[in-house]
Amino acid sequence: RHVADFQLSIASVTEDSSSDCLAQDLHLQAQKLAERLKCDAVVREISAGPGTVNFTINRELLAKTVLQQVLKDGSQYGVKSELFSTVPRQKAVIEFSSPNIAKKFHVGHLRSTIVGNFIANLKVALGHEVIRINYLGDWGMQFGLLGVGFQHFGNKEKLKSSPLQHLFEVYVQINKAAEDENTKKLAKDFFRKLEEHDEQTLSLWKQFRDFSIEEYSRIYKRLGVHFDEYSGESFYHEKSQEILKTLEDKGLLQKTIKGTGIVDLSEKKDLSSFSTVMRSDGTSLYITRQFLIISFRDLAAAIDRMHKHSCDAMIYVTDKSQSNHFQHLFQILKLMGYDWAERCQHVSFGLVQGMKTRRGEVIFLEDVLNEVRSRMLQNMASAKTTKEVEDPMETAEKVGLAALIIQDFRGLLSSDYQFSWDRALQSRGDTGVFLQYTHARLHSLEQMHGNEQLTDINVACLQEPDAISVLQHLLRYDEVLYRSSQDLQPKHIVSYLLTLSHLAAVAHKTLPVKGSAPELAQARLCLFQAARLVLASGMKLLGITPVTQM
pLDDT in tens, 205-214: 999 999 999 9
Q: Is residue 71 domain-shared with residue 109, that is, in the same domain?
A: no
At residue 268, does pLDDT exceed 90?
no
Amino acid at 108: G
Tell me whether residue 325 is one of the annotated catalytic residues.
Answer: no
Tell me whether residue 439 is one of the annotated catalytic residues.
Answer: no
pLDDT in tens, 19-67: 556 777 888 899 999 999 999 999 999 999 888 999 999 999 999 999 9
The answer to whether position 271 is within a domain reads no
The pLDDT > 70 percentage for the chain reads: 93
Q: Please identify, among 288, 318, 353, the residue that sits at the C-terminal boundary of a domain.
A: 353
Catalytic: which of 109, 123, 325, 328? Answer: 109
CATH of the domain at 426: 1.10.730.10
H-type helices in 126-263, by residue range?
Answer: 141-153, 156-161, 163-175, 181-195, 199-223, 240-249
Residue 274 binned pLDDT confidence (cut-offs 50, 70, 90): confident
DSSP state of 285: P
H-type helices in 449-549, by residue range?
Answer: 465-475, 477-487, 491-510, 518-542
The answer to whether position 114 is within a domain reads yes
**pLDDT for the residue 295:** 76
pLDDT in tens, 121-136: 999 999 999 999 999 9
Q: Is residue 48 domain-shared with residue 145, that is, in the same domain?
A: no
Q: What b/e string do you get for 389-406 counting C-beta neighbours within 10 Å, with b at 16 or more?
A: beebeebbbbbbbbbbbb
Tell me whether residue 106 is one of the annotated catalytic residues.
Answer: yes
Catalytic: which of 106, 128, 166, 237? Answer: 106
Q: SS3 for 426?
A: coil
Residues 6+ apart with CB under 8 A from 410: 430, 491, 494, 495
pLDDT mean over 94-109: 91
The answer to whether position 307 is within a domain reads yes
Q: Is residue 25 domain-shared with residue 49, that is, in the same domain?
A: yes
The answer to whether position 262 is within a domain reads no
pLDDT in tens, 182-203: 999 999 999 999 989 999 999 9
At residue 384, does pLDDT exceed 90?
no
Q: Is residue 45 domain-shared with residue 82, that is, in the same domain?
A: no
Catalytic: which of 80, 91, 103, 320? Answer: 103
The answer to whether position 469 is within a domain reads yes
Residues 6+ apart with CB under 8 A from 81: 478, 481, 482
The answer to whether position 194 is within a domain reads yes
Residue 457 binned pLDDT confidence (cut-offs 50, 70, 90): confident
Residue 275 binned pLDDT confidence (cut-offs 50, 70, 90): confident
Q: Let me know: does 319 contact 108? Beta carbons within 8 Å.
A: yes
Q: Let me know: does 282 contact 314? Beta carbons within 8 Å.
A: no
Q: Is residue 78 domain-shared with residue 97, that is, in the same domain?
A: no
Q: Is residue 143 domain-shared with residue 156, that is, in the same domain?
A: yes
**pLDDT for the residue 289:** 38
User: Which helix (H) or strand (E) element contains residue 432?
Assistant: helix 432-448
Q: How far apart are the first and last CA of the chain?
A: 38
Q: Is residue 123 domain-shared with residue 80, that is, in the same domain?
A: no
pLDDT mean over 410-425: 93
Q: Is residue 202 domain-shared with residue 335, that is, in the same domain?
A: yes
The least confident of 227-231, 340-344, 425-429, 530-534 is 425-429
Q: Is residue 25 domain-shared with residue 172, that is, in the same domain?
A: no
Residue 290 binned pLDDT confidence (cut-offs 50, 70, 90): very low
The answer to whether position 272 is within a domain reads no
Q: Report the number of distinct structural domains present in the chain.
A: 3
At residue 293, does pLDDT exceed 80?
no
Mean pLDDT of the chain: 90
pLDDT mean over 81-94: 95
Upper half-sphere CA count for residue 152 (Cβ side, 13 Å): 18
At residue 535, does pLDDT exceed 70?
yes
Q: Is residue 72 domain-shared with residue 147, that is, in the same domain?
A: no
Cα 201 from Cα 93, distance rounded (Å)? 32
pLDDT mean over 75-97: 95
Bigger pLDDT: 237 vs 197: 197
Containing domain of residue 20, as a range?
6-57
**pLDDT for the residue 282:** 54
CATH of the domain at 331: 3.40.50.620
The answer to whether position 547 is within a domain reads no
Q: Is residue 394 domain-shared with residue 471, that is, in the same domain?
A: yes
Q: Is residue 48 domain-shared with residue 70, that is, in the same domain?
A: no
